[in-house]
Structure 1
């Protein structure tokens, strides 16, 4: 019996689909989608995690003594890669970070039990790089500063709970460099200091009412 072209194409399609499905399954065999417990991993000195003698790729979980989830993260070829999350024993999410090739890369966020943000900082290849922010319990901004290659760089500002500036300081490569001003709650300067490469050059003080603190009158810096 002669096979029709339609039947031959159908059989070929079924064969190709089965072959591609098998190849896809084999290609995915190295990745574990079912989480394993962190206690099952073994860590080498190079912070590479192994499971059953092979560098592990897949999801990992860690639990508190009360069996509630403490951490969840993913590994790729034995190294942290992807989103890490942490919870307290009551089940509240308290932290979240992004990793790439074993190093924290992206935003790290720490949360309060209430769910509000406590602080946030950005990383590039495991090093602080970019804005750092910290908040009061009520969600108002407390501190904002900038990191460059792991060191404070630029203007660092600290606020009072009412939103007024408490401290403003300038940094360069991790050292105070330039003008630093501390203020009272009423907005009056408390002291002003000038730094150069981390060394104090001059410093002037004032009382809460704005009068100079000391014998010498303040100079305009």
Structure 2
């Protein structure tokens, strides 16, 4: 008994020692193709725990991290290849917290930022290499808010921007390096809106622009002595690579005449004619290959007459007739080989009368009667050989009455009766005309 107690005590001691022993730290490394270490870090339980480093392909230190349970903790530092500090961040439980600093490659301070719970908060400061302030950017909850400024190295204000929850709002100003106003522009919801003024260095007006929803609609030019020169209402806009993006003309703030847009490739995208700000006459859209995509005719902002759509090869695929913006008359769709795919008739925007669909060889595929855009009457489907495949009767869009389908050889396949989309009875036949199934449903009350 005494021996048994000794053994049990010994086992308990071993168990306590096992539980209290720390988990072994594993060092893991990855390598560049040239054999140089790329990453080196400490892992516990298959998670980053402890120091973690990343290296340039020449072996020089690039980044230093510290992790707890796979989350960044404490100081995190990046380095330039010459060994000077690039940036220094601080983390708490995987989130940026406190002051972060960025540096020039030569060691001078470039920027200071403050984080609260992983979001920028307060004033972000940027500096010239000389130590003079370059910019002050005000953040609230991760978004620019209020007045932000940039400065010339001589200390004078260069730009003043006003933000509301990350969007430019109100008056924004640009200054000459000697302190006088160079540009004043008004923003609404991050877009230029209203009057913008550009000044000569002596303070006289050079240009007055008028914007609506980010689009310039008028420009007034003045000479160096302040005398009015001319008003411009035709403008060109360009992509960053210099390719023209649009040509827009206005008259008293409203689009007028031919206006064009272009693809980044330089091919024209659209040609729209305007009269007092509304589409008028013929408007053409193009594919980026240069072929016509659609031709639409407008009268008083509404599609009128024949509108046509084309595929990229230039083949007509649709022709629709409009009256005051509403489909009215025949609409035809085409196969790529120019054969008719379908013909539908519209009256005041609704399908009326007979509509037809066709196979590519021109044979009838289906035909149907419509009233007020609802199937009303008989709809018939056909096999490619011309034999009837099926016909069904409809009343105000619902299947009502007899519905008969056929095998391609002409024998009846099924006969069914419906009452407002509810199946009443059905008989199925084999290809020799023998009954193979009979089904009767009880009409719902």
Query: Which residue of structure 2 aligns with residue 55 of structure 1?
Result: 278
Query: Which residue of structure 2 aligns with residue 213 of structure 1?
Result: 436
Matches within 5 A, 1:102-181: 102-181=325-404
Secondary structure at the aligned position of 1:213 is classed as: strand
Query: Which residue of structure 2 aligns with residue 85 of structure 1?
Result: 308
**8 A Cα contact 2:270 2:283, kept in partner:** no
**8 A Cα contact 1:85 1:97, kept in partner:** yes
Instruction: Tell me, in whole angstroms, the C-alpha distance in 2 between the residues paired with 1:217 and 1:39.
Output: 59
Instruction: Tell me, in whole angstroms, the C-alpha distance in 1 between the residues paired with 2:292 and 2:420.
Output: 46
Count of aligned pairs: 178
- Return the index of the structure with the highest Cα Rg: 2
Instruction: Tell me, in whole angstroms, the C-alpha distance in 1 between the residues paired with 2:292 and 2:271.
Output: 16
Matches within 5 A, 1:12-31: none
Instruction: Tell me, in whole angstroms, the C-alpha distance in 2 between the residues paired with 1:104 and 1:153.
Output: 20
**8 A Cα contact 2:331 2:346, kept in partner:** yes
C-alpha RMSD over aligned residues: 2.4
CA shift for structure 1 position 40: 6.5
CA 35–182 in structure 1, closer or farther in 2 if over 3 Å, else same: farther
- The answer to whether structure 1 residue 183 and structure 2 residue 406 are counterparts is yes
Secondary structure at the aligned position of 1:158 is classed as: strand
**8 A Cα contact 2:403 2:415, kept in partner:** yes
1:67 to 280, 287, 290: 290
CA shift for structure 1 position 55: 2.2
Instruction: Tell me, in whole angstroms, the C-alpha distance in 1 between the residues paired with 2:439 and 2:345.
Output: 43
CA 217–210 in structure 1, closer or farther in 2 if over 3 Å, else same: farther
- The answer to whether structure 1 residue 76 and structure 2 residue 299 are counterparts is yes
Structure with greater helix percent:
1
Unpaired segments of 5 or more residues in structure 1?
1-30, 42-49
**8 A Cα contact 1:96 1:110, kept in partner:** yes
Structure with greater strand percent:
2
CA shift for structure 1 position 132: 1.1
Of the two structures, which has the highest relative contact order with CA contacts closer than 8 Å and spacing of 6 or more?
Answer: 1
TM-score, normalisation: structure 1: 0.74
Instruction: Tell me, in whole angstroms, the C-alpha distance in 1 between the residues paired with 2:374 and 2:347.
Output: 12
CA 192–52 in structure 1, closer or farther in 2 if over 3 Å, else same: same
CA 116–199 in structure 1, closer or farther in 2 if over 3 Å, else same: same
Which contiguous aligned blocks of 4+ residues in structure 1 show a shift greater than 6 angstroms?
Answer: 34-38
Instruction: Tell me, in whole angstroms, the C-alpha distance in 1 between the residues paired with 2:313 and 2:429.
Output: 48
